[in-house]
Structure 1
């Protein structure tokens, strides 16, 4: 059975750290494995605690009286050296509830006011973003947004444009642009459904509420 034998912390940074794992694979071979985490110490890694505490929050928000546009950000990302379309998102601060983080991050990134829609908790629990290289997990919060776009709340490290995409533009983005995976899946739902939030009225995996 594969297992982790020892964990060594390589870096000590504020937002992201690099860890070296001594592992045993399924046939008994000993190997090195490397991962990144937003946890500040090895003792707090999910593989050590067994917990899944959300690092971040992602917002899927419909915009307009008819909910016929979706709020996106077109953001420059250093690892790509290019822009990519994403859903608005950010980190959950210590002691902050996920819904509080969603409202704060939407306002800071876009200037818009976010109005979450209540849903079954199965849709909003933390999910891992890329388990092959990190234990980062995020919650997705669904709802609507209103107000006027503003970038006054952006940090110096953030370079992005806010996009209110209709279905035609969403389809073009999927065909032609760099798109984050969670954003791509939600855009597919957006362009294929008359009510992209309809699934929230069902209990996850159990049919109607």
Structure 2
């Protein structure tokens, strides 16, 4: 990590899954600036990362999976409260406790879709990426893999409203032409799947 420019963190709001912090930091000209930041991490964890050089913990796992039997991409359409609408996404979820991202990816894929993770493409998988760094430090592992089995929604939590789909290259191509809400991570995977197909996952 480069020079630590964060000088102080103050909690503004804390909830079960998301926290809001006021950040005092040093600007490039040496002056002090303020920033509002959302985080999955509690204040103790953030202070440890910023001021005690503790290793950053990846927050979530995102699963880009190809169903082996059908040779189709696993996709979900999920209701998201902030949008008050459904959005096309990839299966994903928070990493629990001491799980590594691979364990989390297998668990979330099974819980959200009913599919079983078969093989991870370690060459394309990334341990940590960031989707909206201007607003949050949230990070996720991007896991490219294949999966097996039949889809199911039997393990969904009460608040999860998810439709599971298997999409061919042509179906993804057609979806990208529609005026529908698509998560940015899913959008990038959709584009790559249209261009290079199953090579993305194997």
Bin of the TM-score, shorter chain as denominator length: 0.7 to 0.9
Q: How far apart are the structure 2 equivalents of 1:64 and 1:89?
A: 19
Instruction: Work out whether 1:56 is the aligned partner of 2:67.
Output: no
Q: Does 1:106 align with 2:109?
A: yes
| 2:64–2:145 Cα contact (<8 Å) kept | yes
Per the alignment, residue 172 of structure 1 pairs with 174
Cα deviation per residue 1:83-136 (whole Å; 9 max; x = unaligned)? 11111001111111211111111111011111122423x732111221111111
Mapped to 1, the partners of 2:155 and 2:197 lie a distance apart of 32
TM-score normalised by structure 2 residue count? 0.87
TM-score, scaled relative to structure 1: 0.85
Instruction: Tell me if the contact between 2:69 and 2:148 (Cα under 8 Å) persists in the aligned partners.
Output: no
Structure 2 runs not aligned, ≥5 long: none
In structure 1, distance between residues paired with 2:147 and 2:45: 39
Match of 1:14 among 11, 16, 20: 16
Alpha-carbon shift at residue 151 of structure 1 (Å): 0.7
Moved more, 84-93 or 49-58: 49-58
User: RMSD over aligned Cα, in angstroms?
Assistant: 2.1
Stretches (4+) displaced over 6 A = none
Task: Name the stretch that deviates more: 35-44 or 178-187.
Answer: 35-44
